[in-house]
Amino acid sequence: MTGMGAVTPLGLSADETWKNMLAGVSGAAPITHFNPEKFKSQFACEVKGFNAEDFGMDRKEARKMDRYCQLAVAAAKMAIENSGLDLESVNKNRVGVVYGVGIGGIKTFEEEIRGYEKSAATIGPHFGPFFIPKMIADIAAGHISILYGFHGPNYVTTSACASSTHALADAFNLIRLGKADVIVSGGAEAAITEGGVGGFNAMKAISTRNDEPEKASRPFSASRDGFVMGEGSGCLVLEELEHAKARGAHIYAEFAGEGMSADAHHITASHPEGLGAKLVMQSALEDAGMNADDIDYINVHGTSTHVGDISEAKAIKEVFGEWAYKLNISSTKSMTGHLLGAAGAVEAMASVMAVENDIIPPTINHEDDDRDPEIDYDLNFTFNKAQKRTVRAALSNTFGFGGHNACVIFKKYVP
């Protein structure tokens, strides 16, 4: 891992996001993207102060992109710059882009359908010429490759909330297979819209704690009432080791292994016994050639939903045994909210930062008297305050609607 960039509810860079994670800052606040007063949930974790032009995007070109795509391009620009990659000398035929997007241009879709409804009764059906290329999820990777002239593998993975972890896993495997020297990989989402919020409200999936938005995302607490919607983008630059060493790149961490599995249980709910979560963590450990006691930190999926938090905690105990009580666990979603298709990338970034800096970001919003009898609190959930410890390796979980599970492991790079 040689570069990182992020645009999140906690900041407009990877460094600002990480700083606020360690400080336990919540990104939740009343929704400003639209008037939410008639919705059951009136708050979310929005990206604040984002302007595409501040990230070098021409106004005319930015208008051809949905918000999710603007966020993706901004994060990729920062990651590539952070990597120090020489764009003049690198073989661009060997540089790819693999991004994860769960929903895509839902804002564009809603705006175009509204426009159609207005125009159909008067001038006839009307749609903008950029409707389709703004809406489709794959266009994020397309825009990044066009911007830099990267001719390597280029596509988007879509597996709901596991999308960008699958993207990272694919990028890792493409490099291992010799298909590329460098992959720009991450995820993006911008679904805080009437349709996005209304749809998740209808499922009873998101919190309705409107009186205390900043305390609404409370993974592993008894009073949790659903996840908090978030938006943003995270991007990492993955690079073949010898390629990175040859150019003297700073190596944040080593990508050690990945795992993938399916719950094969329910379209939205996690397997109650954490079967898919157990399988995916075991698969990642096997791929990395690591034992359970090689892991010091787990960045959990930890969405603050009733079944999901319980099942993931059960799976961790099954996979890690007694070591489960000696490692740190935290859910950074307690601060960023759930970034859907971007969650895996931002949480992978947090895991890499934990490995490099030997510090664990917290799970905020837990109170000692707010305990769920189905959760084992002898596990160290890193409640409310960051904790320093040596982090030899970190594992990051993401689980998506449809039972899609993906897991990645990062470890300290030893020259």
Task: Supply the residues annotated as catalytic.
Answer: 161, 301, 338
Q: What is the dihedral of CA 338, 393, 306, 43, to 10 degrees?
A: -20
* Region of residue 178 (phi > 0: left; psi between -120 and 50: alpha; otherwise: beta): left
Nearest to 289 by CA among 320, 263, 262, 257: 257
Q: What DSSP designation does 306 have?
A: H
Torsion over CA: 36, 41, 42, 48 (sign):
negative
Per DSSP, the residues of 251-298 read: ---EEEEEEEEE--S-SSSPPTT-HHHHHHHHHHHHHHT--GGG--EE
Most distant pair of Cα atoms in the chain: their distance: 69
For residues 333 and 343, is the Cβ–Cβ distance under 8 A? yes
Secondary structure element (H or E) that encloses residue 183, with its range = strand 182-189
